[in-house]
Amino acid sequence: MIITNFKTYESATGESALRLAKIHQEVARETGADIQVAVQAVDLARISQELDIPVLAQHIDPVGFGGHTGHILPESVQTAGAAGTLLNHSERRLEREVLKASIQRAKELGLVTIVCAQDPEEGASFLEFDPDYIAVEPPELIGGDISVSTAQPEIIENAAKLIGSEKLLVGAGVKNGADVRLAIKLGAKGVLLASGVTKASDPKAVLMDLAGGLK
């Protein structure tokens, strides 16, 4: 599994987001890889309508219909076509009880949850909330040039033991197929990445390389 978080990069916003998402779909079709994208809330509906790969929200709030101005309503995300949502990304950290409630709201609607954690121990502590996946991303490596697979392989091994390979995604600095291949070998089910694709001069070539690492 490869999930690209579009964040709010200019190269992954609006029309650029749609073009980039279509490239992900092309690579998924050509390789058979499970490739997903997490896009901004304002781009979610259009991209979901035009793609047949899973499209994720970057965040939801644990609210229902009512007076919650500025919040992201889970029902709206579902209606827009999202298959699931990221939660607790290092750039959008949540209080523990808020995270628990957000996962519960997602479950009520059948949305897949990918919960981010800063280390294996924190990730394991989220198991009691029963998220679908836990993405372990050491914050010091996010957006860097060295992947967690290379810099701290022991993190992936430990996370696989504590969390279990079927739920484990890893991220931070993942850039190429070799990084993905090593992550899978160490016990991860897949990877969560962002700038390695969103800032690439040739995102299709990067995605083809990444997809090759899943084999």
Catalytic residue among 97, 137, 157, 166: 137
Q: What is the 3-state secondary structure (H, E, C) of the chain?
A: CEEEECCCCHHHCCHHHHHHHHHHHHHHHHHCCCEEEEECHHHHHHHHHHCCCCEEECCCCCCCCCCCCCCCCHHHHHHCCCCEEEECCCCCCCCHHHHHHHHHHHHHHCCEEEEEECCHHHHHHHHHHCCCEEEECCHHHCCCCCCHHHHCHHHHHHHHHHHCCCCEEEECCCCCHHHHHHHHHHCCCEEEECHHHHCCCCHHHHHHHHHHCCC
Burial of 42 (0-12, 13-18, 19+ CB in 10 A): exposed
137 is catalytic: yes
59 is catalytic: no
Catalytic residue among 15, 30, 71, 89: 89
| Active site members | 89, 137
